[in-house]
Amino acid sequence: MTILAGVDAGATRTRALVIHDDGTPVGSGTGGPANPHNIGPGPAASEIARAIQTAAAGETPQVVVAGVAGVEDPELRRELRYALQALQPEREIHLYSDAAVALDGAFLGGPGIIVIAGTGSVAWGRNEKGEEARAGGWGHYVDDVGSGYDIGRHGLHAVLRAHDGRGEPTSLSRMLLKALEIDSPAQIGGTVRRTDSAQIASLARVVVQAADEGDAVARAILRGAVGELAALAAAVWQRLNFSPGHPVAPVDGVFAHARMRKAFAASLARKCPEAVVTTPRLPAVAGAVWRALMLKGFDLGESMVSRLDAGARMVGETR
């Protein structure tokens, strides 16, 4: 019996799911951030290998499919593969972007668009011809619009504007200073320089909380974020020339908030009324396992999909 491992590795955490080829789960595991662009190929490989080892529960996966944020750069992908192969010898390793395995999970190889909004953001789509296109995902220094990082950064900017008298008063001033464990807006710059992108992204939940409590500044930040995310999806829709009725699935941490899912659907309806917002069939970590099964020619029927969905819940992943 073949043992297969799927990995979803992002800028915040890594998740692994290991199964037998009939879909029976072996185990699940987690690791820390594994974006090689942020932390380097060696540390990223170590986090991926750690998650796989935990999930394998003493077994040895013969096939590993890893969807990893930041591997669009061919050189980084080569370096990560080399580092991972050294840690996982005699295993068949396939590396893809995290968006690619999320797309597989969302539509089981079929056409559609996913919009990922976690620490970073990207839209990725595949049409009926198998053609793929992406929009966004160019990193937090220059892009990642609508992401957790982008929302957190805009929240901090709003605090500084209010402090200077350039912007409206906002409850974010109190809430974000508390979240950062600092006493004054004057400390924000130094704190941010010592903070990684995932920690800034974690501030998005504070902005959502402020919006839920009625803060007008926070609500404006979130309106801007969902508008940018909808624009990513609309750009991919146009490039792939989708016909009406195809699905768009929002995934990852920002969309864990009901406010953000609802606002995204409304914004996309204005920009791209032919699209249908839907829920992914499988989360990304199960999408990675699905691709491993596909590569090796195993069954991909509905019973297998149900087993993969159940396995993903072991690692705390839901659609």
> What pLDDT does residue 311 have?
87
Residue range 280-297, pLDDT digits in tens: 999 999 999 999 999 999
Q: Is residue 319 part of a domain?
A: no
Q: Is residue 129 part of a domain?
A: yes
Q: Is 295 in the same domain as 305? A: yes
Residue range 123-174, pLDDT digits in tens: 999 999 999 999 999 988 899 999 999 999 999 999 999 999 999 999 999 9
Q: Is 14 in the same domain as 96? A: yes
Share of the chain above pLDDT 90, in %: 88
Residue range 43-93, pLDDT digits in tens: 999 999 999 999 999 999 999 999 999 898 899 999 999 999 999 888 899
Q: Is 130 in the same domain as 245? A: yes
Q: What is the mean pLDDT of residues 91-104?
A: 94
Q: Is 218 in the same domain as 307? A: no
Q: Is 101 in the same domain as 148? A: no
Amino acid at 141: Y
Q: What is the mean pLDDT of residues 218-240?
A: 98
Q: Which two three-digit tokens encode residue 276?
A: 């249908």
> What pLDDT does residue 106 have?
97
Residue 315 has pLDDT above 80, yes or no: no
Q: Is residue 264 part of a domain?
A: yes
Q: Is 10 in the same domain as 121? A: no
Residue range 52-62, pLDDT digits in tens: 999 999 999 99
Residue range 191-203, pLDDT digits in tens: 999 998 989 999 9
Residue range 26-49, pLDDT digits in tens: 999 999 999 998 899 999 999 999
Q: Is 215 in the same domain as 304? A: no
Q: Is residue 308 part of a domain?
A: yes
> What pLDDT does residue 312 have?
87
**Based on the structure, what is the number of domains in the chain?**
2
Q: Is 42 in the same domain as 148? A: no
> What pLDDT does residue 314 have?
77
What is the domain range of residue 172?
115-279
Q: Is 289 in the same domain as 247? A: no
Q: Is 272 in the same domain as 162? A: yes
Q: Is residue 126 part of a domain?
A: yes
Q: Is 65 in the same domain as 17? A: yes
Asked whether 191 and 182 are in contact (CB, 8 A), the reply is yes
Q: Is residue 151 part of a domain?
A: yes
Residue 280's nearest CA partner among 318, 225, 232, 235 is 318
Q: Is residue 211 part of a domain?
A: yes
> What pLDDT does residue 317 have?
66
Q: Is 133 in the same domain as 63? A: no
> What pLDDT does residue 175 have?
99
CATH label of the domain that carries residue 153 = 3.30.420.40
Q: Is residue 236 part of a domain?
A: yes
